[in-house]
Structure 1
């Protein structure tokens, strides 16, 4: 029975039209001539498929190559970092065994970048930013801030609890005695630290916290309920973690928009949409690699210059411009105009995506 099924399948396979078993008479990767019924190149092993990349072929190659990793990766890095557009051009021309698959390259460097963000940026980064340059008129706060560098012992915990109790008492007393006419003084006294203490104190009602928030420099109104605003202040660091967790998915969802804008700008070049999407994967992977290295150097190398970040941005944008020049081969000025249009469109989508992602993270807090 099994032999019969195998024989029938073999006959059906042999009777398939030649057109379905081979696409070209030569290998796109190494150029070796292929026999009539050869579906794979006997020289390099690449499957005999056309140079264009329909969605079905793209997904098929993705599934077969995404989870494999070999020595081609090191060979890919040289072209990836020093030859803008080469990987995209080679892939779209059919040289798919020579370099690492674009999706796999994207995943490697996106994981590297977001790992750098999640691992190296401190969990209290949000508080550090908002507390920077905010003086306080309460010496008790300074006693608490000194404990941020490590885990307090039992004696230190008791002192922190006592300082916290006194701080809340001072703030509550100040809140009840403050008149509306003293709003300027009111705004100065309610620093971010004070708002944090009020937000986590169950003795402070939500209405009182709302008045304190409105009287501070951190008031905001984005359609959230007062309780949600209190939750944001109380769990601001958790909010930052939530944003960081959603960021990779958001960027992946924005990639098709980036490819669509390129497709519109180069509609007269008769290029498949998937070829533009491949370029998007390569450009985003390069951006992740450079910005991830910058974060690494800033935290471990001690480089704190703002010019270092500006230089990374210039490098990434120059790389993208040179890649467009190499792939679409238009005049440098015409390419520059299209590059600016592409940057403006993608920036608008990116800001909209960030706003939506922040709002969604607020709702899920």
Structure 2
């Protein structure tokens, strides 16, 4: 869809005299399009651009979802005008992902059995606090659930001590453990910070994965940008897959979709690698093992780093 431009005769930025065919200034690059118009014209342009985006998005998603790797291949050979650019597609899908995640993430209600908390003790039941010996009589009757909660908190307290000991009792370790304790005590705030930092982490992970592909397929002589486009499309598909899994989990909470998601991810990766890199069935299967292992290791490191940054920023 061609854009209906209101052209200048002279560039307002550098003074270059335009020819009729100039949509951009050949001298400074500024778009030859007058935006000083009534609001109704801007609204009309917005819907024009939105509809144009919509016609591309459906063609792009069809290839991305049903033809693994073909969208990347088309981009790499220059067939780009009919599809949404990879980075713009990723941003759009990731925004939908975090929006759905925010809508479906619920903070659990505070445990009613916790009545008091300070730096040294946590009173769970009347007369019972962390470190107090629990009589056998408490283990019977209606107090069973409360005692389980007490045991869980006592275990958490031991875990915090073990975490602090892993830092050698340093001042930084004590401060980190204190922040970590505060971080996990506020589930809603922790989720929001993790969501924000995870979005940034994914931006870093994509070029990392592209570098992994660049090193693994270095003998093919591919440009790094080609691997980067593959990585962007792959992570875009993963975002869409997780969005679907989150929505299905809301509809069917009793069904565990974890294994299914992992299998679909691996199958999609296999098909996309074979489509883009044109390796044989056996070579592609063999390549899945080292690529997946290094990727999962990198993902784990990035997630731990994201958690640590989230705790330190809390």
Equivalent residue, structure 1, for 2:115: 164
SS in 1 for 2:115: helix
Q: Distance in 1 between matches of 2:71 and 2:150?
A: 48
Equivalent residue, structure 1, for 2:100: 116
- Corresponding residue pairs, total: 253
In the TM superposition, residue 213 of structure 1 has moved relative to its aligned partner by: 6.7
Q: Distance in 2 between matches of 1:100 and 1:176?
A: 57
Structure 1 spans left out of the alignment, 5+ residues:
14-64, 132-139, 142-162, 196-211
Equivalent residue, structure 2, for 1:238: 189
CA offset digits 1:153-189 (Å, max 9, x no partner)? xxxxxxxxxx836x96665843488369x9xx9xx95
SS in 1 for 2:53: coil
In the TM superposition, residue 286 of structure 1 has moved relative to its aligned partner by: 0.5
Equivalent residue, structure 1, for 2:218: 267
Structure 2 spans left out of the alignment, 5+ residues:
1-9, 23-48, 140-145, 165-172
Q: Distance in 1 between matches of 2:231 and 2:151?
A: 42
In the TM superposition, residue 220 of structure 1 has moved relative to its aligned partner by: 4.6
Equivalent residue, structure 1, for 2:58: 74
- The alignment's TM-score, normalised by the length of structure 2, stands at 0.69
Q: Distance in 1 between matches of 2:149 and 2:277?
A: 54
CA shift in 2, pair 1:94/1:242, >3 Å: same
In the TM superposition, residue 87 of structure 1 has moved relative to its aligned partner by: 0.4
Matched, 1:251 2:235: no
The runs of at least 4 aligned residues of structure 1 exceeding 4 Å deviation read: 167-172, 192-195, 212-220
Q: Distance in 1 between matches of 2:84 and 2:130?
A: 65
Q: Distance in 2 between matches of 1:338 and 1:170?
A: 53
Equivalent residue, structure 2, for 1:353: 302
Matched, 1:309 2:258: yes
- The alignment's TM-score, normalised by the length of structure 1, stands at 0.60
SS in 1 for 2:279: coil
Q: Distance in 2 between matches of 1:169 and 1:215?
A: 13
CA contact (8 A) 1:92 1:275 kept: yes
